[in-house]
Amino acid sequence: MSNNIFIIARQSFRMAYSNKATFAFAVLLSFSLVLATFVGWKNYKVQNEQRLQYKKEVRKQWLANPDKHPHRMAHYGYLAFREKHELSFFDFGIESFAGVSIFLEAHKQNSVNFSEASFSNGMLRFGELSVAMVLQILFPLLIIFVGYNCISAERESGTLKILLCQNTTWKDLLWGKTFGLLALSLSIFIPFIILTIILWGILSEWQLSGDSVVRLLLLIGGYIIYFFVISVITALVSALSSGSRPALTTLLASWIFFIVIMPRVTQSVGNQIYPSPSKIPFLANIAEDVSKEGDSHNPDDPHYAKIKDSLLKKYNVDDVKKLPFNYGGFIMAEGEKITSNIYSRHQKNLNKTFENQNSITKLASFLNPYLALKEVSMILTASDYSTYTDFQNQAEQYRYGLAQKMNQLQIEHISNEKPAEHEKPHIISQNNWASQQDFEYHFTKISEAVSKNSTAFSALFFWLVVSIFAIQFSVKRIKTI
Amino acid sequence: MRQNLFLFELKIFFRNTSSITAIVILLLAGFVGLYFGKTFIERQENVVQKAINLQKENTGNNYEHFGEDTGLFFYHNKFSVANTATKWAAFSNGQRDINPYLISVTMLGLEGQIYDTDIANPSSLLMGNIDLGFVFIFLFPLVIIALSYNILSSQQENGVWILLRSQTSKPHLIIWNKLLVRVLVIFATAFVLMTAALFYLNLELDLIFFSIFGLILLYLTFWFAAVFFVISFGKTSNFNASSLIGLWVGLAIVVPASLNLYLSAKYPVPEALKNVMEQRQGYHEKWDLPKNVTMEPFYKHYPQLKQYPFDEQKTFSWFWYYGMQQMGDDQALESRKAMEHKLENRQQFASVVALFFPTIQTQLSVNSLAGSDLKSHLDFQNFVRDYHEKVRLHFYPVIFQEQKVSLAEVEKFGLKHYKNPVSPLKLESVISLVLLSLILLIVGNLNFRRLFK
């Protein structure tokens, strides 16, 4: 960095803080950051602890079930609660709009219920105060308010000509002003991040996982790129505008357009182009496919009749009751396999539709740095859409495993003779229940999360490159007077 | 003189292309909002229409498969209830994307079914919908700010103000006229959009129309009052623009977002998770307990069902089964009530803070008048509860006497439509908006007097 750039950067940084309004705004932002961290962390703690407490209770109740028929256990099922990632205190992402609890039982895929949004009467629609929100939405405003006249004011007061005569090039000036603005955001951001890391360390008793540390480092890098991009845009608009007032108007209008209006529009357009089905027709389509494949409830169904015949032939018996294993369990295992395959196929298509809906917004992040960073931030704090579908997938896998395990127990341990109307039902020992492991949600590894969502990361990188190029090559178009 | 001045200002206003652009943007955004809002509701209505036939079809299929075993038939058969959108829901979609508008339940335990959500893309829920309500609440204030932040300061900055002051004894009349022109233009734009909504959404010219229109005009007046207040300090254009945008960011983003954070910390809803656990346990554990553990409380709940014969010796009977299901609901009753209480607390909190923040006030009031808020969803849930109870009590005797049910009897219970009764606009919403605007106008006027002395 040439000496000139450094001098200009230092000068404009000092100037900014000498302004009382800037100082007040900076203090206000720091205060909101600390508040957001504190309350965000507390919310994370409280909600996660609740979920973990109920998770423990679910396990305890599962194991405490007395001897019974395994199929009863399959219907007793399991409750899974979506855990929050420890970094989700930083960025709430879709957390509040995604459900928390899901009931996992045989034959049936239930919805994830009880999102925070379902408890809200609409105020949530204005947003939630989080660290990410302050950094993404309010920091650009600070940069704009401080930087809109960083060059136009020099031009208006006539100092610009003097500066450019004194061995300072336009490039130096632009870089210097950009770094000055960047330094302003970092002067709040860096102490805050250090504070956050210390707080995080203390609260988790320095049990930081390597994965989370990498996530946080990338997050810091991402936000610095974002502040840099906004600083470049601000400096350039100030240089290119005819005066301070049009510069401010342009910057504020862009802020409103890119941060308030565009995200809603792109998402609405996505929903419009790729409409997603509603639950009732969605389930009806699945039911239709299931009945095409074979209906285990229907004794005359050809698919199951074929299985029955081949089994009778293989074991050389004339009645399913004489088979050496539980026939009912075998048929249910087959049914579970078919239905969950069909369900997964439909769910996959549905997820594809949702991804298509989101793709418009993702593409728009090449036009809008805010959208690029927003997505990156959600991915890194595991509060994004793909983490949510990952939870759904893991829960469904667990559900399938549980149902099949119970079917297997039935096949192996339950007699083929149905008890008469007044006889005791067949049961197996409760010792079997422990063999079904507890549901543990595993967050995606950061390397995988990055490669799965490469578009978002490339969009942010794109903005970094574009900003650098913009300063290097805009010089020709800027007028000094 | 006064009238001439007004016409003159009007002319100046329309000579400025950026003012015209701003109005055109508002109109366009308004039409886009109308379109998106309407298609959103239309899609829901289509689903409801389809669901009517689907329920009929499913009932037919279930009857074919399980008709011989009435208990089993009702184990499978679903009854749907639709929360019919008011026409205004297209104006303000509210919470209709988050809360299910169609609930299908079997005769089994209700607590395990009533909270099931519809399929939704959480990313879309996060970004929110675009509807005309959004345009009025978020974008109109921004345009008001853009059009009026410099009506005094720009005159001061280009030196015209000194000339004007020397030529007139009432310089504030000029400012008033400029502001009045903008009020009229913005109100006219709002009028155009409301008229468009009236026809496009097939609204009626009723009390709700005038309530919502009035509320919006009051809301816009508040923003004009805020602009008036800020410019009355006689500061520079840049100062005015920055503080007004700051005010907008505060009222439309930071304050509601902070309150949300506070709200969810102060009123967490662990009762929801508790409810799921209790409902499941309350039902399932009964399988392993003596039958009277189920039947005694069940008879207590429904003394009229005691008349039907119950064979305790039978390993399994539907009588017992439906009794066990009821136990799940009964056991979860306490946490359900606790959850309802929490939600009431939350709504109460929101309606109190709304008194101080016009953005929240207007959004919540419009949602409420449009029947797309949380309260209408909770009312809908209660309606589903009542309907479910009605279906249960109608068919319990058939099941418990192990009789065959006729298809025609079941088909009488087709998809049920729920229509939310609309509660009128609350007086305190109006008072809060009027008071806040008045305070700003009065203080602003005092400032002006000082400025023009």
How many other CB atoms are there within 10 angstroms of residue A422's CB atom?
A: 9
Contacts of A419 in chain B (CB under 8 A): 315
Measured CA distances, B111 to A106, B198, B320, B382 (Å): 19, 40, 18, 12
B143 in reach of chain A (CB within 8 A): no
Q: Which of A450, A276, A267, A223 is nearest to A362 (CA)?
A: A267
Q: How many CB pairs under 8 A join A and B?
A: 263
Q: Where does residue B14 fall: left (phi above 0), alpha (psi -120 to 50 degrees), or beta otherwise? A: alpha
Subunit contact A103:B280, Cβ cutoff 8 A: yes
Which residues, 6+ apart, have CB-to-CB distance to A52 below 8 Å? A81, A83
Contact (CB, 8 A) for A58 and A176: no
B110 in reach of chain A (CB within 8 A): no
Which residues, 6+ apart, have CB-to-CB distance to A270 below 8 Å? A356, A357, A358, A359, A360, A361, B124
Q: Which of A111, A119, A265, A361 best tests the B interface by mutation, with the highest count of B CBs <10 A?
A: A119
Q: Which of A41, A114, A121, A423 best tests the B interface by mutation, with the highest count of B CBs <10 A?
A: A121
Q: Tell me, what's the pLDDT at A132?
A: 95
Q: Tell me, what's the pLDDT at A17?
A: 86
A354: closest chain B residue by CA: B121
Write out residues 356-385 of B within 8 Å (CB-CB) of A.
Answer: 359-360, 363-364, 367, 373-375
Q: Tell me, what's the pLDDT at B163?
A: 82
> CA B332, B337, B342 angle in degrees (round to 5)?
125
Q: Tell me, what's the pLDDT at B185?
A: 96
B375: closest chain A residue by CA: A121
Give CA–CA dist A105/A399, Å, rounded.
6
Amino acid letter, A479: K
Contacts of B284 in chain A (CB under 8 A): 72, 75-76
B237 in reach of chain A (CB within 8 A): yes
Q: What is the mean pLDDT of chain B?
A: 93
3-state secondary structure of B187: helix
Give CA–CA dist A427/A420, Å, rounded.
14
Contacts of A128 in chain B (CB under 8 A): 257, 260-261, 264
3-state secondary structure of B430: helix
Q: Tell me, what's the pLDDT at B174?
A: 83
Subunit contact B276:A103, Cβ cutoff 8 A: yes
Amino acid letter, B220: L
Tell me the pLDDT of chain B (453 aa) as tens digits: 566 788 888 888 888 888 899 999 999 999 999 999 999 999 999 999 999 999 999 999 999 989 999 999 999 999 999 999 999 999 999 999 999 999 999 999 999 999 999 999 999 999 998 999 999 999 999 999 999 998 888 888 888 888 877 777 777 788 888 999 999 999 999 999 999 999 999 999 999 999 999 999 999 999 999 999 999 999 988 889 889 999 999 999 999 999 998 898 899 999 999 999 999 999 999 999 999 999 999 999 999 999 998 888 888 899 999 999 999 999 999 999 999 999 999 999 999 999 999 999 999 999 999 999 999 999 999 999 999 999 999 999 999 999 999 999 999 999 999 998 888 899 999 999 999 999 999 999 999 888 877
B121, B261, B363 member nearest A276 (Cβ): B121
Q: Tell me, what's the pLDDT at B385?
A: 97
Give CA–CA dist A182/A68, Å, rounded.
66
A300: closest chain B residue by CA: B65
Q: Which of B49, B255, B260 best tests the A interface by mutation, with the highest count of A CBs <10 A?
A: B260
Contact (CB, 8 A) for B440 and B228: yes
Q: Which of A14, A222, A49, A262 is nearest to A131 (CA)?
A: A222
Give CA–CA dist B400/B417, Å, rounded.
29
Q: Which of A120, A125, A134, A56 is nearest to A89 (CA)?
A: A134
Subunit contact A264:B134, Cβ cutoff 8 A: yes
A423: closest chain B residue by CA: B315
Distance of CA A417 to the CA centre of its chain: 50
Extract the residue ranges of chain A whose pLDDT is less than 70: 1, 295-299, 481
Q: Which of B21, B123, B423 best tests the A interface by mutation, with the highest count of A CBs <10 A?
A: B123
B332 in reach of chain A (CB within 8 A): no
Q: Which of A342, A324, A481 is nearest to A416 (CA)?
A: A324
Contact (CB, 8 A) for B136 and B216: yes
Crossing angle of the two packed helices B207-231 and B171-200, in degrees rounded to 10: 150
Subunit contact A280:B102, Cβ cutoff 8 A: yes
Give CA–CA dist B198/B214, Å, rounded.
14
Which residues, 6+ apart, have CB-to-CB distance to A336 below 8 Å? A106, A107, A400, A403, A404, A407
Report phi then psi at B86, rounded to 5.
-75, 165
Summarised one tens digit per residue, pLDDT across range A424-481 is: 888 999 999 999 999 999 999 999 999 999 999 999 999 999 999 999 988 877 877 6
**Neighbouring-strand partners of residue A109:** A104
The dihedral over CA atoms of A164, A167, A173, A176, expressed in degrees to the nearest 10, equals -150
A41: tokens are 């962390």
β-pair type (B416-419, B102-105): unpaired
Q: Which of A421, A472, A393, A361 is nearest to A112 (CA)?
A: A393
Give CA–CA dist B369/A162, Å, rounded.
62
What's the complex ipTM? 0.92
Give strand ranges (E) for B264-309.
none
Report phi then psi at A428, rounded to 5.
-125, 165
A113, A126, A265 member nearest B115 (Cβ): A113
B418: tokens are 């729920």
Subunit contact B128:A72, Cβ cutoff 8 A: no
Subunit contact B123:A361, Cβ cutoff 8 A: yes
Contacts of A111 in chain B (CB under 8 A): 116-119
Q: Tell me, what's the pLDDT at A296?
A: 65
Please classify residue B265 by burial: count the beta carbons closer than 10 Å to its beta carbon, then call 0-12 exposed, 13-18 middle and 19+ buried.
Answer: middle
B278 in reach of chain A (CB within 8 A): no
Contacts of B128 in chain A (CB under 8 A): 125, 264, 267
Subunit contact A277:B138, Cβ cutoff 8 A: no
Q: Tell me, what's the pLDDT at A1?
A: 54
Rounded to a whole number, what is the distance in Å from the CA of A63 to chain B's nearest CA?
13
Continuous segment of H or E residues that includes residue A101: strand A101-105
B337: tokens are 């009530």
Which residues, 6+ apart, have CB-to-CB distance to B257 below 8 Å? A126, A127, A128, A129, A133
Q: Tell me, what's the pLDDT at A297?
A: 63
Q: Tell me, what's the pLDDT at A122?
A: 85
Write out residues 160-219 of B within 8 Å (CB-CB) of A.
Answer: none
Please classify residue B446 by burial: count the beta carbons closer than 10 Å to its beta carbon, then call 0-12 exposed, 13-18 middle and 19+ buried.
Answer: exposed
Q: Which of B125, B124, B174, B134 is nearest to B33 (CA)?
A: B134
A57, A129, A248 member nearest B257 (Cβ): A129
Give CA–CA dist A65/A383, Å, rounded.
35
Give CA–CA dist A142/A144, Å, rounded.
5
Contacts of A65 in chain B (CB under 8 A): 288
Q: Tell me, what's the pLDDT at B55?
A: 93
The edge-to-edge listing of strands for the beta sheet with A101-105 is A78-81, A101-105, A108-109
Rounded to a whole number, what is the distance in Å from the CA of B314 to chain A's nearest CA?
5
3-state secondary structure of A384: coil
Summarised one tens digit per residue, pLDDT across range B269-299 is: 999 999 999 999 999 999 999 999 999 999 9
Contacts of B364 in chain A (CB under 8 A): 121-123
Q: Which of B48, B103, B261, B360 best tests the A interface by mutation, with the highest count of A CBs <10 A?
A: B261
Q: Tell me, what's the pLDDT at B100?
A: 94
Rounded to a whole number, what is the distance in Å from the CA of A260 to chain B's nearest CA?
9
